[in-house]
Amino acid sequence: MRLSEITNYLETVAPLNYQEDYDNAGLIVGDPNMEVHAALVALDCIEKIVDEAIATGCNLIITHHPIVFKGLKKLNGKNYVERVVLKAIKNNIALYAIHTNLDAIDTGVNARICERLGLTGTKVLSPKAGLLKKLVTFCPQAQAEQLRSALFYAGAGNIGNYSDASFNADGFGTFKGNENADPFVGEIGVRHKEPEVRIEVIYPTQTERKILVALFENHPYEEIAYDIYKLENKHQLVGSGMVGWLEYDMDAYDFLHLVKDRMQAKVVRHTEIIGKRIKKVAVCGGSGSFLLKDAIAAGADVFITGDFKYHEFFDAEHKIIIADIGHFETEQFTSNLLVEIIQKKFTNFAIRLTEQNTNPINYLF
């Protein structure tokens, strides 16, 4: 199987344009056309992961965290990042990362946390803007249904739990073709008035090429009038963090013990227990302190994440309980999620879950 077959699929699940600006998700090392015969999946790409890939005959490593965040100016092995890249290249092993783009989707990292905690009615905590566009075009009434169907099939018209969504308004267009024209309707040199439908559909930015191909192949006119608008609407299924509900409200201490058990956390650092029972829960895999205000605004009773700094705990201001269970602990089940995603598509592809614990933090009890 070619490497691009796997990476293209992963990028339909979690498109690269969903990642944060600081991130470096995608193919880091490797030729998209290379043949891959087995993949190793891990949270982090460190030296012992590359060694495991070599030992098990895997020539692709898929991780959540990218090994390269910042640009490399030299490759001489002076630090673990350079050593990993050098060893991967030397052994013809491709490195691929699926990071904040996997965090952002509503079936990704945060959904897995919610699942382990038994949360229901989940939704994205902080939806992302700038991911949607609107296409407006004008089509003869008789061909409008065919064009709409083609646009829907190409990926337009999906809004939340609804598909085939469009706005349509009747009107008329005018045009006059010159001697070089080949008009679908009307006569050359004569102004024509044609009953038309104004069709509006929303689509994700990463599908624009497919949308325009569908438009050009299914619109009957020689010259197609269309407009594309960038939307500031937030994509309700894409963004940072998630929030959901427990089936039954719980005592705060009992809930924190449940979190520690379900998330296999060594320790839970938390703010003062403020007396309320826990019913609504916000989560964010990895470093989530930037979402504290969103968690409070959502009415969450507790916010579960990692990497809170000392002074940031004060920002709870008795409005919410912060439960910091650790960066690794919130994301440790991401590798299992990735294996499931890949096996769903490539049932016969050899894929291995790492046997290594890559958590750089140790605990003394």
Q: Tell me what percent of the chain is helix, strand and coil, each rounded to the nearest 5.
A: 35, 30, 35
**Beta-strand (E) ranges in 262-349?**
269-270, 278-287, 302-306, 321-324
- On whether 31 is known to bind a ligand per the annotation, the reply is no
Distance between CA atoms of residues 120 and 126, nearest Å: 17
Please count the CA atoms within 13 angstroms of the CA of 44 that sit on its side-chain side: 16
- On whether 64 is known to bind a ligand per the annotation, the reply is yes
- Count the Cβ atoms, other than its own, within 10 Å of residue 119: 20
- On whether 219 is known to bind a ligand per the annotation, the reply is no
Q: Which residue has the tokens 């998630």?
A: 242
Q: What is the DSSP letter of 28?
A: E
Please count the CA atoms within 13 angstroms of the CA of 184 that sit on its side-chain side: 14
Q: Angle at CA 147, nearest 5°, toward 146 and 148?
A: 95
Do 91 and 50 form a contact (C-beta atoms < 8 A)?
A: yes
Q: Which residue has the tokens 């991911």?
A: 131
Token readout for 185 is: 């309707």
Distance between CA atoms of residues 111 and 36, nearest Å: 29
- On whether 65 is known to bind a ligand per the annotation, the reply is yes
User: Checking phi first, is residue 111 left (phi over 0); if not, alpha (psi -120 to 50) or beta?
Assistant: alpha
- On whether 99 is known to bind a ligand per the annotation, the reply is no
Residues tagged in the binding site annotation for a divalent metal cation: 64-65, 103, 327, 331
Residues tagged in the binding site annotation: 64-65, 103, 327, 331
